[in-house]
Structures are given as C-alpha cells and as structure tokens.
Structure 1
Amino acid sequence: MKKTLFSLLAILLMFSCKSPEARKPVTQRSGDYINESIERNKKIVAAEEEQIMKIIEEDSTREYLSSPNGFWYYYNTKDTASTVTPQFGDVVEFDYDLRTLDGRAIYSDEEIPVQSYAMDKEKLFSGLREGLKLMKEGETVTFLFPSHKAFGYYGDKKRIGTDVPVISTVTLKKITQENNNQNN
C-alpha cells in the first residue's frame, strides 16, 4: 500500500509541475508614443536649423562652414601654418562661452574657467567635443550648435533649458599630445 501511494504521489508530482508560462500584458502599447516623439524631435531640429540658417544668411561678413557632425562654425582666428589637431587622448586647454542664438549670454568665458580636457576620455557635450577636433592650437572658432549637439532635452539643469540651441566661441590655448600620438 505504501508503495502504491508513494508511486501515485510521485506520478502526481511529476505531471503537476510544468514550466512557467509568460503572461500577456494587461495593456499593450503600440509604437504611437515613440512615433510621436520622433516627429516632435524632427520638428524641433528643423526649426533650430532654420533659425541657424537665418543667422548665417544675415551675416555676410563671415564664411560659415558646415560640419558633417551637424553644426556650423566660422573662424575668428585661424592658423594656416600648423596641421596639428587634437587626437584621442591628447589633453587640450581651452576656454569658451555659451550664448543663445540671439546673442544673450548664458555663461560668459569669465564664468567658465579654462578647461583641461582629455580628448574623448572625459565627458563634454558632443558638439564641443567634435568642434575641438577641428581646431588647432591658438585658434578661436565660433560654433552654432543645435540643441541636440549641445545640451539636448535635459539642458544643464541650471541656466540652459530644454532644447536650447547655443552659440559658443572657443579658443584652443594648448594641445598636449599623448605620448603615442607624438610619433604620428
């Protein structure tokens, strides 16, 4: 009797165990939110680029260049003799300011101390990081960054709000090449 009861109990346990089944979500989301967000961001980028293009069209005194990285710039001071630009790991010293597209100061260069930055090894907003790679020691360049190349949706949580395009004048004071770059 004990054997039969034990066998019956073992068979019952064997068949009562099954692998867990995935439950279906109570609510299903379509891609509507993501699609709406994409469309909203496309409109923001288009509006910001339109503002920047208007500034460029109205300023006939400067030669603006378009970066393949999605921003525009012009040289205030250009070095035509040097060919050295910062590479990965080089340490650059620079100062800069940040202004709105209509020229109002957000942060002046007096408020921002001279920065020391190891290229692509430290955190820096993408437009400025990419802009520094275009510069040579001693040059001053003014960049026009759409918000997605500056501080984007989050801003800087201080003076720069959501989706604010900026103008920044940057002076590259010094490039200290990383040891393995000096041979290049």
Structure 2
Amino acid sequence: MNKLVVLLFAFTCIFACKTPEARKPETVKTGSSIEESVIRNKKLYETEEKAIQAYIKTQDTKQFTASEFGFWIAKDSVVTGNETSKLAEFSDVVNFDFNLKALNGQTIYTASELKNRNYAMDQEELFTGLREGLKLMKAGETYTFIFPSQKAYGYYGDENKIGRNTPLISQVTVNSITKK
C-alpha cells in the first residue's frame, strides 16, 4: 500500500511540473479608426481645395502659384535692388509683420493685433505654413499666402479666434533678416 501511495505521489509530481505554454494572442481587428480618419481627412482636403480654388479665381490682381510646401503664394511687392539679399537660414532672425484672414475675407487678426515679430528661424514656435513661407522671402518683400488648415492651425485652431480646420489667408511683410 505504501508503494502505491509513493508511486501515485511520484506520478503526480512528474505530471504537475510541466513547462508553461505560451498564451496565444487574441485576434483583434485594428486600424478601422485610422481608415476612418484617412477618409475624413481626404474629404476635408478636397473641400478646402475647392474653397481655395474658388477664392483664387476671384482674385484678379494676384497670381497665386502652388508651392512645394503645400500652400499657395502670390508676390505683392518686391523691393528692387534686393536681388543680392539672401533668404533666411537656420537661426537667422527675421523681423516681419503679418495678418490673418478667413477665405471669406473676414479679418481674424490684424497686423497691429499680431504686432511686429522677431522670429529665430526654425528655433521658435510658429505655425507650419508661415514658418515655411518665411524661408521663401527676402527682406523688404510682401507676399500673400493661402494656407490650408493642415498648414495653419489644423484640427484645434488657436483656441481663440481661429476655429478648427480653418484655411487662412495671410499677407506677410519681411522687414529685415539678421544673419547669425
């Protein structure tokens, strides 16, 4: 009887000490919200593109061209004799004035509200479109930019006067560029 109990105890110990098995992951479908976001953003882009093209058609005095950065640009004034001046580079300080308008022409911020600014190129916060637009300008030039919402304040707006997904028009004048 003792041998039977010992044998039963030995079998129990041997079979109870098996190696742990890895658990298989649950199959979860992901990416549906990402796909919905992509579809929503494509529709938003198409809507903004149509609105911007309609605005450009109403502008008789300005010739807008699409930039490689994803916004539209028109030269308002270029200072003659400025051909030798250079574009701003990393860490140069750009002194500029600008305003912001909606596509319907309503002024959101005037140049006096935004005040004259000094901006250290690529070292300070500035919305994407304006930061890239300043790289295209020389001292004394005035350009008008049309920024789609993703190049302006995007989904959140500025949490003040600019609403979410709002394309913007901005007239920018570069007063000076101080090289570093």
| TM-score bracket for this pair, using the shorter chain length | 0.7 to 0.9
Which residue in the other structure is 1:182 paired with? none
Letter matched to residue 55 of structure 1:
Y
Give the gaps of 5 or more residues in structure 1: 1-7, 179-184
The secondary structure found in structure 2 opposite 1:138 is coil
Which residue in the other structure is 1:174 paired with? 176
Whole-Å Cα distance in 1 between the matches of residues 164 and 129 of structure 2?
A: 16
Whole-Å Cα distance in 1 between the matches of residues 29 and 162 of structure 2?
A: 33
The secondary structure found in structure 2 opposite 1:111 is helix
Whole-Å Cα distance in 2 between the matches of residues 19 and 133 of structure 1?
A: 59
CA-CA distance at 1:30 after TM superposition: 2.8
Instruction: Give yes or no for contact 1:126–1:149 (8 Å, CA) kept in 2.
Output: yes
Which residue in the other structure is 2:7 paired with? none
Give the gaps of 5 or more residues in structure 2: 1-9
Letter matched to residue 72 of structure 1:
W
Which residue in the other structure is 1:35 paired with? 35
Assess, with a 3 A threshold, how the Cα gap between structure 1 residues 177 and 34 changes in structure 2: closer, same or farther. Answer: same
The secondary structure found in structure 1 opposite 2:111 is coil
Q: Quick check: which has more Rg, 1 or 2?
A: 2
How many residues are aligned here? 166
Whole-Å Cα distance in 1 between the matches of residues 173 and 107 of structure 2?
A: 17
Large movers: runs of 4+ above 4 Å: 15-23
Letter matched to residue 71 of structure 2:
F
Letter matched to residue 129 of structure 1:
R
Letter matched to residue 49 of structure 2:
E
Q: Determine whether 1:85 maps to 2:80.
A: no
Letter matched to residue 173 of structure 1:
N
